[in-house]
């Protein structure tokens, strides 16, 4: 399975010619995997989470994250918001790690306080903190978690008080002051799952209304081709960067359109999603001799601008699969897997025409694993299990340290970076575990994952659930 790594050292032209051949060089095995083999891999993922969690406990307890090389704690802001415990809690619940989940919940219940005079970023705090608190509340019934989510939501509401209703990037949790007018579709349109669920559970419709208006206002500013750019001013509503794509800065906006249509039965989101996916497939999809990719284009003209694909773009096969477009999903995941194998682990940005790494960072991202999990759920094709095994082996070989897992500063050299973000617990390890675990571990059809892989129960999302 690791023979692909030798290809990294061949001349670029030969690599490109290999990848462009009719038979993929790095195709995943289609051999069936026994239940015992899957169970063993699930146990290994569980053990790796315990390894990383114990490193966090030993060196960074009570802080946002562990720096796994220097063995030092890291906080995003002046005061810790316990990002790793909040992000990791529902993953540990899914894995049946009761002792570890209880100690994380106790720390959150006793120490997490949002009344802090500091600015925080709306997008990351919403998907990690609000999403994590809501999903963990749904799993445990711990009302303190819901109270924290409601308190956080209330403190975050001023972000929506712009002239357009699109959110500012930062808000002070104590004063409500806001700043940051330059934003993007992902940060504007990836809030409705969390605020919508908070509205449904608490019976406070203002949360849904504010996040929904932001999404609608963004949609009003699509180009005549139906595309959005990657930069917009939330006060003027004017685009500051007209590059369209599915990359970071836009990615989860598309994801939330579809998922909000599913979770809340929102017809506006359903309509906007259908219009957007038509434009995406018309102007951004790029069928090459080696397979399907998605690149970038000018939002006004549809003209191709760059041919970049990367770790963040690899979320899209999961979205396509969720939408029922299994053909494109399968082909795009195959391309993502080629990108992963090009250097033995995926880069943050890859030029799929030149077959060159553009940005070699690997921050322990989960998206390609997420897509393999979705596709295995829908197709039961064992090649996705083989992909998952490759992902796990690469993580252990290149990223594991004696205290956890480290990001890579460059996948070509495999040099480690002193970072282990909380999404590694929330997403990467959760999706890897669910890929190998029995389907009964988490009922896929009963939940919708937010973009941080926090599962939201569909049964709690209907207006009738308001109490």
d(CA 50, CA 95) in angstroms, rounded, equals 10
d(CA 392, CA 364) in angstroms, rounded, equals 11
**128 belongs to the catalytic site:** yes
The DSSP annotation for 240-251 comes to EE-EE-SSTTTH
**194 belongs to the catalytic site:** no
Q: How far is CA 251 from CA 27, 229, 235, 310, 318, in A?
A: 26, 11, 22, 11, 12
| Tokens describing residue 119 | 């600015």
d(CA 421, CA 83) in angstroms, rounded, equals 9
- CA angle in degrees (0–180, nearest 5) for 40-44-47: 135
The DSSP annotation for 166-207 comes to PPPSEEETTT--EE--EE-HHHHHS-HHHHHHHHHHHT-THH
Cα–chain-centroid distance for residue 217?
A: 23
Q: Do residues 24 and 36 lie in contact, with contact meaning Cβ atoms separated by under 8 Å? A: no
Quickly count: other Cβ atoms within 10 Å of residue 136's Cβ.
Answer: 30
User: Tokens 């030149």 correspond to what residue?
Assistant: 354
- What is the four-CA torsion angle of 30, 34, 40, 44, rounded to 10 degrees? 20
Point out which residues pair with 306 in neighbouring strands. Answer: 296
| Active-site entry in 90, 251, 266, 427 | 251
Quickly count: other Cβ atoms within 10 Å of residue 207's Cβ.
Answer: 26
| Active-site entry in 367, 370, 417, 421 | 367
| 96 DSSP assignment | T
Q: 90 Cβ partners below 8 Å, 6+ apart? A: 132, 135, 136, 139, 426, 430, 454, 455
| Tokens describing residue 144 | 């303190």
In the β-sheet with 178-179, what is the strand arrangement from edge to edge?
119-121, 170-172, 178-179
> Strand, coil or helix: what is 421?
coil
| Active-site entry in 124, 182, 275, 351 | 124
* Strand 243-244 with 239-241, pairing: unpaired
**113 belongs to the catalytic site:** no
d(CA 240, CA 99) in angstroms, rounded, equals 48
**251 belongs to the catalytic site:** yes
| Active-site entry in 64, 87, 90, 128 | 128
| 325 DSSP assignment | -
Active site residues: 124, 128, 251, 367
């Amino acid at each position: 399975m690791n023979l692909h790594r030798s290809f990294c050292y061949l001349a670029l032209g030969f690599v490109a010619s290999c990848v462009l051949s009719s038979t993929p060089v790095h195709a995943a095995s289609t051999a069936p995997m026994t239940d015992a083999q899957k169970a063993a891999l699930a146990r290994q993922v569980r053990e790796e989470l315990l390894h990383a969690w114990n490193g966090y406990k030993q060196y960074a307890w009570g802080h946002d994250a562990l720096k796994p090389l220097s063995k030092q704690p890291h906080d995003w802001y002046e005061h810790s918001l316990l990002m790793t415990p909040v992000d990791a809690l529902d993953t540990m619940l899914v894995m049946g790690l009761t002792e570890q989940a209880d100690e994380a919940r106790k720390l959150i219940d006793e120490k997490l306080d949002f009344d802090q005079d500091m600015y925080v970023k709306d997008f990351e705090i919403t998907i990690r903190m609000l999403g994590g608190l809501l999903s963990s509340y749904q799993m445990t019934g711990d009302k303190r978690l819901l109270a924290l989510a409601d308190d956080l939501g209330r403190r975050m509401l001023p972000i929506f008080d712009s002239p357009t209703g699109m959110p500012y990037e930062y808000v002070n949790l104590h004063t409500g002051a806001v700043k940051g007018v330059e934003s993007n579709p992902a940060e504007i349109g990836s809030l409705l799952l969390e605020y919508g669920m908070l509205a449904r559970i608490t019976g406070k419709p203002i949360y849904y209304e504010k996040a929904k208006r932001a999404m609608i206002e963004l949609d009003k500013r699509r180009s005549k081709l139906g595309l959005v750019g990657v930069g917009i001013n939330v006060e003027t509503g004017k685009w500051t960067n007209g590059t369209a794509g599915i990359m970071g800065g836009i990615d989860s906006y598309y994801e939330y359109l579809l998922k909000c249509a599913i979770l809340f039965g929102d017809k506006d989101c359903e309509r906007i999603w259908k219009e957007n996916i038509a434009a995406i497939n018309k102007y951004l999809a790029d069928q090459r001799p080696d397979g399907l990719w998605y690149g970038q284009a000018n939002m006004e003209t549809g003209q191709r601008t760059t041919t970049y694909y990367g770790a963040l773009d690899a979320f899209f096969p999961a979205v396509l699969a969720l939408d029922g477009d299994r053909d494109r999903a399968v082909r795009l995941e195959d391309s993502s897997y080629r990108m992963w194998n090009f250097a033995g682990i995926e880069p943050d940005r890859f030029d799929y025409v030149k077959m060159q790494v553009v940005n070699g960072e690997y921050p322990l991202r989960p998206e390609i694993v997420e897509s393999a999990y979705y596709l295995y759920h829908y197709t039961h094709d064992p090649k996705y299990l083989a992909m998952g095994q490759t992902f796990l082996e690469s993580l252990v070989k290149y990223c594991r340290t004696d205290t956890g897992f480290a990001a890579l500063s460059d996948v070509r050299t495999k040099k480690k970076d002193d970072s282990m973000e909380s999404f590694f617990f929330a997403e990467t390890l959760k999706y890897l575990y669910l890929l190998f675990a029995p389907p009964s571990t988490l009922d896929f059809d009963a939940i919708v994952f937010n973009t941080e892989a926090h599962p939201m129960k569909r049964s709690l999302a209907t207006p009738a659930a308001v109490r």
